[in-house]
Amino acid sequence: MNDKLVGQPLVRKEDPRLLRGDGRYLDDLGRGALAAAFVRSPVAHARITGIDVDEALDVEGLVAIYTHEDLPGRIAEPLPLLIPHPDLTHPRTPYCLANGEVNHVGEAVVMVVATDRYLAEDVAERIRVTYEDLPPVVGIDQARAGERLVHEDAPGNVAARSVQTNGKGEAHEAIASAPHRLALDLHIERSASMPMEGKGVLAHWDADDRTLRVHSSTQTSTSVRLAVAAKLELPPDRVEVITPDVGGGFGVKIVHPWPEEILVPWAAMTLGRDVKWVEDRREHFTSSAHERAQQQHVEVGFDEAGRLLGLSVEIWHDNGAYVPYGIIVPIVTSTQLLGPYKVGAYRVEFTSLYTNTVIVTPYRGAGRPQGVFAMERTMDAIAEYLGMDRLAVREANLIQPEEMPYDQGLVFQDGRPLIYDSGDYPTMLRMIRDLVGWDGFEAERAAAAAEGRRIGIGIGAYVEGTGMGPYEGAHVKVETTGEVVVSTGLTTQGQGHYTSLAQIAADVLGVGVGDVTVITGDTRRFKYAVGTFASRAIVTSGNAVAIAAAKVAEKAKRIAAAALGDGVAPEDLELVDGRVRRRADPATAIDLRTVAVLSNPLRYAFDEETKAATQFAAATATGEEPGLEATGYYMPERSTYAAGAHGVVVETDPETADIRILRYCVVHDCGVVVNPRIVEGQVHGGVAQGIGGALYERIVYDDAGQLVNASYMDFLIPFATEVPHIQTAHMVTASGLNPLGLKGAGEAGVIPTSAVVASAIEDAEGLAVRRMPISPSELYELRKARQARKEQVSA
Amino acid sequence: MTEQVHQITVTVNGVARRGEVPARRLLADFLRMDLGLTGTHLGCEHGVCGACTLLLDGVPVRSCLILAVSADGHAVTTVEGCCEAGGELGPVQQAFQDCHGLQCGFCTPGFITTITAYLEENPKPTEEEAREAIGGNLCRCTGYQNIVKAVLRAADLKRERESADE
Amino acid sequence: MKPPPVVYHGPDTVQEAVRLLAEHGGHAKVLAGGQSLVPMLNMRLTAPARLIDVNRLDELAYVRTDLEGVRVGALARHADVERATHAFEAVPLLRQAVRSVAHPTIRNRGTTVGSLVHADPCAEMPAVLLLLDGEVLLRSDRAGERVVKAADFFVGPMESACEEDELAIEAYFPRPKGRTGTDWRELSRRNGDYAMCGVGTSVRVDETGAVTSAKAAYIGMGPVPSVVDVTGADFSAAAEHAADQLDPEDDIHASAEYRRHLARVLTARSLKAAYEAVAP
């Protein structure tokens, strides 16, 4: 146990429960609760002219039907704007239930409560809502045209327009005066987080105690609590929010309060009955959130060596019908676009546009995949233009290790300066070069060509701001049984926090990981937290756990010193193997559990153990608060910056245009790694989502604003057969910003995948790939267009 | 309007369970709502994701696509039934922990049941076969890398345990 | 996504099932494997008043092979067809094609005959029946038993010749005559998805290896599965000819033009593979 647990690839403590089928996800709770279902808009943009419930009234099991008219007080007001920003000049947020107008297919119009979900759907099916159609705005082109408006009072459909420059000169001038210039127009289509478990809410109102207990499948229980309390006009201390096991989040569950998170608790209070709503897959497609869709125009100026002198990027970002989460996604795109590169003078302008589609909020990567796509497509275009090796162009622009910390001169999504804290990007590129076989690739290509096969290689890098504030906290307590209980306000959705946070606490307290129980996402246990998103949990909560555990260790030493007497001072002691012992004389020791007993001086013993803490027994420390416990918070000064590089080899079928990934390689630096097994799993999962986004997944709306592929039949999440073997290599540049040296890892895998796959396809095919995702059918169209151009030229 | 209910008896993890269900009650919901066996998860309710996969008379099927009343008289094995007799993790479950084959755990029961049946048919799969064996189940967390490893590990564990029993 | 209320019948005999269909035909759906029907129920895209569940008709759970060919009973699952070695030996195309039907777990429950009656133009087994000139045996109280040739069975998109009061009892897949090679291939977005284009081919040769008959069947290429006779042309010309006969549509996964292109490529590959299986 003297070996540190941080850094070890331990198996997860939470697994046996989940593997036995003993997990408790939202829908596993509240058996017997009333069930809610919703009548949702079937049209993209319309005025509601009538709601007729007559046919629904004789459904057996019906309990209640609610429309906007029924909602009292603040519940009838629009949902909050979670992240205001000065550039967000025309923010619009939805109502819990549509107030006279619907702005996307799937928007909630009527809430139904019945004795079970089958019956609730029977009721919903019989409610007749009549609509007067308004012209829908679908897609960025239509939004930009501004001829039709989503919100009458948001001219040009513009929610926000924002410009940032990096203070390194005027970008347009730098580009104009550069020896070489290029311009690129790029497109990324819509996708979605699509966790395997949808959202869900269960509410219990205790009328005697006047407390509301809400379970929600969320990424932020503490913030849901505050939002619910505000909307329902309850004192926050009367509201408890508990996050049970969560079947994946990937960003969509950080948004809150969802209409259902307000309506279900309100219905439970109103009806005096437990009420549960479980989002089904179709609802998840049409009424949660999407991401990714952007158009980009890039102008770049560079020299003979491929060094960037000026970069100007314009982004048109589709934010859907409302902006409850503000403009975080395009801010992230604009700022993280720069990656590991020095770009000279930089100007970025984004326009965030309303469309009559589902709202757009962060999905794993949160705008970074789009930014990296722009940057890395630009790098490849420069290489092509100059006839240079693609890796060499990247190397020519890298920030060097000795330039750290490196100030990119921008303001990041946390409102703090975008300063890279650490990193070694040249080593990172060398590692990916070796791992993917860059240098030997031409031989590989020739060998494949000799067999009539067509292959290509792609490479790309990114930097990811992680571990942002404002803070996370933890409460650490040693029980008299010796069990260490770590409570954090963070939620968890499969990232293994029950194990990784236990590793951190165990190291500090000198106990085994099996002695530590981690509690997450339960506001009864810990009230102050931000949430699990933006690759921040291990950095912020991990350090908070370490800080709280260190306080507990110090207290344990003080109490132990008093108990051991004989001139033992706290500073002589260490915590090892579940004991507090003298460094100089390890035989002089006291069990940590005994210290826990002594930490709570008792008048009354309640078992054999606790006799030791009563007044006529041994000496107890004076001046201590009772309990071997402490609370600690970690408040980062600014974000840490993780980084990575990916390489991929693809094969394209010369005839069918089928696209197959032959190998996928990742070099990843997230600073000090707490649990390598878990980090590797995070990378794998991210890459799989990235491959989904590159080759398979897209959310498709037709001109009328109907989401035409709202099912797993047609929204193509990769199966195992579509995800290749992923090779990973790790490097560690510890962050100096936090005591543990951590950087976040949650989103890493997904970030550069579309960029590198596009690069490899471009390499295989010798044609420009400017839009992702790409399907075989689209590759076929690109080939045809090239053929047509060739024929035109030869004619 | 009152729905007609049907008396059914389904042998669930070796125990005969009786129930009274409307015709439309899905087998997954019968297990979850009526029997409180919530290990079987519903991820899409249209037969694609595979989270609700269980064994019907030993054969993997989607329990969101079968009416409970159709299962009357049949035997069902769910993830809860994939443990050893003494309650320890079964070989597939143990392999998932050993290989970090799960993250959020929501899709996992469908994989456990699918693989449990698969290894009866093919006790020693290759990596390629392992990948195909799980090719009908969606996982959004793991990228499948460690699930493929878990299939191979489970095959080993199963053989080890079987030979230890002999 | 929960199914609407429905009245359930679980007949134990074919006779009873057919009687129930006679009584409720227009308002009832037959529930066999349910792998297409139940998703539609769950999404409430269909709401029959009654379901006639044929899963207790054990007498129809067979895959039989005789000198003529393979007979697949209405309760035989795709997996039963896939596993039946005798069926594979008699009609190799059955296994070649059924392996492309969705995923194994779906094949464990879905029935081959159910897939034929469902008549999805993207499904594999209708095209197999068509390519092999198979038949479907139907029974009703009204008309007794009748046999419908594959060519007459698929009448429109998701529409077969099985009448509302009829129960499909069995599908018959004849053995290919003489020296015939077959092949199935398709390209789908993901493994197990509906194909963007699927092609089954059948090539008969004489003792010298000369092709005496060549046919190709397609899925995902029009409102109904289709067969094109390409006897007499070399394989690449045959592929061009066949592709010209097809009328695919655009969808979100593939353009019509790309599908037609795939038909060309896959037909040539498939004919070659079918030929090579039997060429001397």
- Hey, which residues does A158 pair with through a beta bridge? A353
Separation between Cα atoms, residue A391 and residue A414, nearest integer Å: 32
Quick check: C179 contacting A, CB < 8 Å? no
Is A199 a member of any domain? yes
Q: How is domain C179-278 classified at the CATH fold level?
A: Enolase-like; domain 1 (3.30.390)
Is B85 a member of any domain? no
Using CB atoms, pick whichever of C5, C191, C262 lies closest to residue A719.
Answer: C191
Residues B67 and B101 in one domain: no
Contact A738, A635 (CB under 8 A): no
What is the interface size between B and C, counted as CB pairs within 8 Å?
89
Average of per-residue pLDDT across A566-575: 94
Are the Cβ atoms of B66 and C34 closer than 8 angstroms? Answer: yes
Among chain B residues, CA nearest to C1: B45
Give every CB contact of residue B94 below 8 A, 6+ residues apart in sequence: A19, B88, B154, B157
Quick check: C10 contacting A, CB < 8 Å? no
Is A162 a member of any domain? no
Average of per-residue pLDDT across C13-17: 97
- Give the domain-ending residue among A287, A307, A325: A287
Residues A652 and A613 in one domain: no
Quick check: C192 contacting A, CB < 8 Å? yes
Quick check: B59 contacting C, CB < 8 Å? yes
Best mutation target among B49, B52, B70, B134 (most C Cβ atoms within 10 Å) is B70
Are the Cβ atoms of B24 and C2 closer than 8 angstroms? Answer: yes
Are the Cβ atoms of B46 and C39 closer than 8 angstroms? Answer: yes
Are the Cβ atoms of C39 and B65 closer than 8 angstroms? Answer: yes
Residues A653 and A565 in one domain: no
Separation between Cα atoms, residue A60 and residue A80, nearest integer Å: 36
Using CB atoms, pick whichever of C190, C255, C261 lies closest to residue A716.
Answer: C190
Q: Which of residues 20-49 of C touch B (CB under 8 A)?
A: 31, 34-35, 38-39, 41-43
Residues of C in contact with A777 (CB under 8 A): 196, 253-255, 258
Residues B76 and B24 in one domain: yes
Contact C186, A656 (CB under 8 A): no
Are the Cβ atoms of A125 and C44 closer than 8 angstroms? Answer: yes
Instruction: Please check the confidence at residue A1 and state whether its pLDDT lies above 50.
Output: no
CA distances from A311 to A30, A183, A184, A556 (A): 55, 10, 11, 56
The reply to whether C7-53 and C59-174 are identical in fold is no
* DSSP assigned state of A78: P
Residues B76 and B97 in one domain: no
Of C98, C100, C117, C95, the closest CA to residue C34 belongs to C117
**Residue A345, domain CATH:** 3.30.365.10
Is B53 a member of any domain? yes
Quick check: A659 contacting C, CB < 8 Å? no
Contact A686, A495 (CB under 8 A): no
Is A770 a member of any domain? yes
Residues B59 and B126 in one domain: no
How distant is the Cα of B66 from the closest Cα of chain A, in angstroms? 15
Contact C150, C130 (CB under 8 A): yes
Are the Cβ atoms of C192 and B72 closer than 8 angstroms? Answer: no
pLDDT for the residue C163: 96
Quick check: C6 contacting A, CB < 8 Å? no
How distant is the Cα of A407 from the closest Cα of chain B, in angstroms? 34
Separation between Cα atoms, residue A679 and residue A10, nearest integer Å: 11
* DSSP assigned state of A693: I
Is B135 a member of any domain? yes
Tens-place pLDDT, residues C207-241: 999 999 999 999 999 999 999 999 988 888 989 99
Residues A558 and A678 in one domain: no
Average of per-residue pLDDT across A246-272: 97
Using CB atoms, pick whichever of B33, B97, B139 lies closest to residue A12.
Answer: B97
Average of per-residue pLDDT across A489-506: 96
Is A242 a member of any domain? yes
Helices B145-165, A676-691: axis angle to 10 degrees equals 130
- Neighbouring CB atoms inside 10 A of A135's CB total 16
For tokens 């060739």, name the residue. Answer: A790
**Looking at this protein, which amino acid is placed at residue B135?**
G
Q: In what order do the strands lie in the sheet with A726-730?
A: A454-466, A640-652, A659-669, A726-730
Residues B33 and B68 in one domain: yes
Is A611 a member of any domain? yes
- Domain range for A551 is 469-634
Give me the DSSP letters along A302-357.
Answer: E-TT--EEEEEEEEEEEEES--TTTTHHHHHHHHHTTTTB--SEEEEEEEEEE-SS
Residues of C in contact with B70 (CB under 8 A): 10, 31, 34, 53, 55
Q: How many domains, chain A?
A: 3
Separation between Cα atoms, residue C187 and residue A76, nearest integer Å: 51
**Residue B15, domain CATH:** 3.10.20.30
Residues A281 and A357 in one domain: no
Using CB atoms, pick whichever of A196, A721, A725 lies closest to residue B49.
Answer: A196
Domain map (residue ranges) of chain C: 7-53, 59-174, 179-278
- Give the domain-ending residue among B33, B61, B80: B80
Residues A663 and A620 in one domain: no
Quick check: A696 contacting C, CB < 8 Å? yes
Separation between Cα atoms, residue A335 and residue A164, nearest integer Å: 8
Residues A738 and A721 in one domain: yes
Residues A581 and A477 in one domain: yes
Q: Which of residues 26-55 of A touch B (CB under 8 A)?
A: 27-28, 31
What is the helix (H) or strand (E) element at residue C264, kind and residue range? Answer: helix C256-278
Residue A793 CA neighbour count, 13 Å, CB half: 6
Are the Cβ atoms of A121 and C193 closer than 8 angstroms? Answer: no
When the pLDDT of each residue in chain A is averaged and rounded to a whole number, the result is 96
Are the Cβ atoms of A721 and C187 closer than 8 angstroms? Answer: no
**Residue B102, domain CATH:** 1.10.150.120
pLDDT for the residue A233: 97
Tens-place pLDDT, residues B56-108: 999 999 999 999 999 999 999 999 999 998 889 999 999 999 999 999 999 99
Chain C: partners with 3+ C-beta pairs within 8 Å: A, B
Copy the structure tokens of residue B158.
Answer: 């199963």
Quick check: C208 contacting A, CB < 8 Å? no
Of C157, C162, C159, the closest CA to residue C142 belongs to C162
Are the Cβ atoms of A688 and B144 closer than 8 angstroms? Answer: yes
Q: Which of residues 65-124 of B touch C (CB under 8 A)?
A: 65-67, 69-70, 72, 114
Instruction: Please check the confidence at residue A124 and state whether its pLDDT lies above 90.
Output: yes
Lowest-confidence pick of A282-286, A635-639, B66-70, C108-112 = A635-639
- Confidence at A566, pLDDT banded by 50, 70, 90: confident
Are the Cβ atoms of A719 and C192 closer than 8 angstroms? Answer: yes
Residues of B in contact with A684 (CB under 8 A): 142-146
How distant is the Cα of B166 from the closest Cα of chain C, in angstroms? 31
pLDDT for the residue A193: 97
Chain B: partners with 3+ C-beta pairs within 8 Å: A, C
- Confidence at A657, pLDDT banded by 50, 70, 90: very high
- Confidence at A119, pLDDT banded by 50, 70, 90: very high
Are the Cβ atoms of A31 and B36 closer than 8 angstroms? Answer: yes
pLDDT for the residue A609: 81
pLDDT for the residue A620: 66
Instruction: Please check the confidence at residue B1 and state whether its pLDDT lies above 60.
Output: no
Q: How is domain C7-53 classified at the CATH fold level?
A: 3.30.43
**Looking at this protein, which amino acid is placed at residue A15?**
D
Are the Cβ atoms of C108 and B60 closer than 8 angstroms? Answer: yes
Contact B134, B115 (CB under 8 A): yes
How distant is the Cα of A718 from the closest Cα of chain B, in angstroms? 7
Q: Which of residues 624-643 of A touch C (CB under 8 A)?
A: none
How distant is the Cα of A44 from the closest Cα of chain C, in angstroms? 19
Residues of B in contact with A721 (CB under 8 A): 131-132, 135
Are the Cβ atoms of C8 and B6 closer than 8 angstroms? Answer: yes
How distant is the Cα of C177 from the closest Cα of chain B, in angstroms? 34
Is B86 a member of any domain? no
Among chain C residues, CA nearest to A775: C253
Check: CATH 3.30.465.10 for C59-174? Answer: yes
Average of per-residue pLDDT across A163-187: 97
Quick check: C236 contacting A, CB < 8 Å? no
* DSSP assigned state of A26: G
- Domain range for B56 is 5-80
Quick check: A776 contacting C, CB < 8 Å? yes
Contact A490, A532 (CB under 8 A): yes
Is A10 a member of any domain? no
Using CB atoms, pick whichever of C7, C42, C102 lies closest to residue B46.
Answer: C42
How distant is the Cα of B63 from the closest Cα of chain A, in angstroms? 15
Instruction: Please check the confidence at residue A406 and state whether its pLDDT lies above 90.
Output: yes
Separation between Cα atoms, residue A37 and residue A680, nearest integer Å: 39
Separation between Cα atoms, residue A187 and residue A174, nearest integer Å: 25
Is B131 a member of any domain? yes
- Confidence at A605, pLDDT banded by 50, 70, 90: confident
Give every CB contact of residue A22 below 8 A, 6+ residues apart in sequence: B39, B80
Residue A450 CA neighbour count, 13 Å, CB half: 6
Copy the structure tokens of residue C143.
Answer: 């008309």
Copy the structure tokens of residue A582.
Answer: 């003298």
Helices C235-245, C256-278: axis angle to 10 degrees equals 140
Among chain B residues, CA nearest to C104: B136
Tens-place pLDDT, residues A76-87: 999 999 999 999
